[in-house]
């Protein structure tokens, strides 16, 4: 029984050798065909995508197709009864050639084994030779019809590109995935009501409202438009520990009073009515704050002129802050963050 099975195996292996010889004889014969490459768009968008397939007409040797042919080939791993140490990993044409030769060199050794023991291992070898033959048939067919081969590559590439573009569009259309929520005020609370980027003091209330993101590194520039202001209205930076239901500018944070352009702060400066810009900011006026976390400074910019207000700011996280004492109504709008 083993003799007959060995004969069948050799027949398959010899056919494989013939296929390998024919494939190698194709050699440097050239042909013109269309190849496809994945390229990044210079100006990506949700509509066009981030990547596209570029079609290029090329004249290449048919044998170069062998370099492109890759496949994860699953083979049975027989028991290494004769210590041949055959590597059964197989992904390309070179592996197929190596394995067909290596396995064929083992087969005759089974004639010296018990037939029952030999039978179970020979079945594995036969299955492997048949798997290699199927792959060799695919390769020969592809070499004789390179157009179909590269069209199949196009379908595979297009599927990959479509999947990548879909995933990236999800990020592109939802920048919060990368950058977090859009910068603005933290939302409605006790002291203020927020509508989009506008923050208005609630009638008769006192307290502080912060931006939804704080900073401890980098340079950050905030442009604030005053929509209305009555009495004390403080704009500056503060830690997250500020009170939301009582004013803070004499105990916590670093502020400028929009009523007269003077500075108020908690420790370590304890500023009170300290001159900075020296003018009031009324409805429809604009003030810009520059928080330099690297130098630990806060600068106010008015009509292109910089006024250094605070030095030696703490290295902790600081937020854009609006603080009111409840003496009057005020509303500001965050118009730009850079």
Domains of the chain: residue spans and CATH: 2-172 (no CATH), 192-337 (2.60.120.920)
pTM of the model: 0.50
According to DSSP, residue 182 is labeled P
Q: Are 145 and 153 in contact, with CB atoms under 8 Å apart? A: no
**What is the reported pLDDT for 178?**
47
Q: Within 10 A of 92 (CB to CB), how many other CB atoms are there?
A: 17
For residue 286, give both structure tokens: 């604009």
Under-50 pLDDT residues of the chain: 178-179
Residue in this structure with the two tokens 């003077």, named with its chain if needed:
262
**What is the reported pLDDT for 172?**
60
The conformational region for residue 261 under phi > 0 = left, psi -120 to 50 = alpha, else beta, is: left
**Which candidate, 302, 296, 115, 321, places its Cα nearest to that of 217?**
296
**What is the reported pLDDT for 295?**
95
**What is the reported pLDDT for 49?**
77
Q: Are 198 and 333 in contact, with CB atoms under 8 Å apart? A: yes
Give residue-wise pLDDT tens across range 167-206.
Answer: 777 666 555 554 456 788 887 677 888 888 898 888 888 8
**What is the reported pLDDT for 246?**
87
Q: Which long-range contacts (CB under 8 A, 24 or more apart) does 80-86 make?
A: 81/109, 81/113, 81/121, 82/106, 82/109
* Paired sense of beta strands 30-45 and 49-61, if any: antiparallel
Indicate the angle between helix axes 2-26 and 115-144, nearest 10 degrees. 20
**What is the reported pLDDT for 173?**
57
**What is the reported pLDDT for 50?**
78
């Amino acid at each position: 029984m083993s003799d007959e099975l060995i004969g069948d195996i050799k027949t398959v292996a010899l056919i494989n050798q013939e296929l390998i010889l024919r494939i190698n004889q194709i050699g440097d014969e050239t042909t013109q065909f269309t190849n496809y490459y994945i390229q990044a768009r210079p100006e990506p968008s949700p509509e066009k995508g981030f990547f596209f397939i570029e079609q290029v007409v090329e004249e290449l040797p048919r044998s170069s197709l062998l370099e492109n042919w890759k496949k994860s080939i699953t083979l049975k791993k027989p028991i290494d009864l004769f210590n041949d140490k055959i590597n059964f990993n197989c992904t390309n044409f070179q592996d197929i050639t190596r394995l067909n030769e290596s396995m064929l060199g083992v087969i005759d050794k089974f004639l010296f084994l018990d037939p029952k023991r030999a039978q179970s291992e020979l079945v594995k070898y036969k299955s492997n030779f048949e798997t290699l033959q199927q792959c060799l048939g695919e390769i020969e067919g592809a070499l004789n019809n390179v157009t179909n081969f590269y069209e199949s590559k196009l379908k595979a590439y297009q599927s990959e590109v479509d999947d990548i573009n879909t995933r990236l569009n999800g990020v592109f259309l939802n920048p919060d995935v990368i950058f977090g929520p859009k910068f603005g005020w933290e939302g409605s609370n006790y002291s203020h009501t927020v509508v989009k980027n506008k923050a208005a003091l609630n009638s008769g209330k006192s307290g502080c409202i912060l931006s939804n993101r704080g900073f401890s590194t980098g340079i950050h520039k905030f442009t604030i438009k005053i929509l209305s202001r009555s009495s004390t209205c403080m704009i500056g930076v503060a830690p997250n520990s500020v009170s939301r239901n009582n004013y803070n500018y004499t105990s916590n944070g670093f502020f400028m009073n929009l009523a007269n352009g003077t500075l108020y702060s908690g420790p370590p400066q304890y500023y009170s009515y300290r001159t900075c810009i020296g003018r009031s900011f009324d409805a429809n006026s604009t003030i810009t704050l520059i928080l330099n976390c690297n130098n630990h400074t806060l600068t106010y910019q008015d009509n292109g002129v910089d006024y250094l207000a605070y030095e030696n700011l703490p290295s902790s996280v600081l937020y854009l802050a609006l603080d009111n004492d409840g003496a009057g109504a005020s509303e500001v709008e965050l118009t730009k963050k850079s």
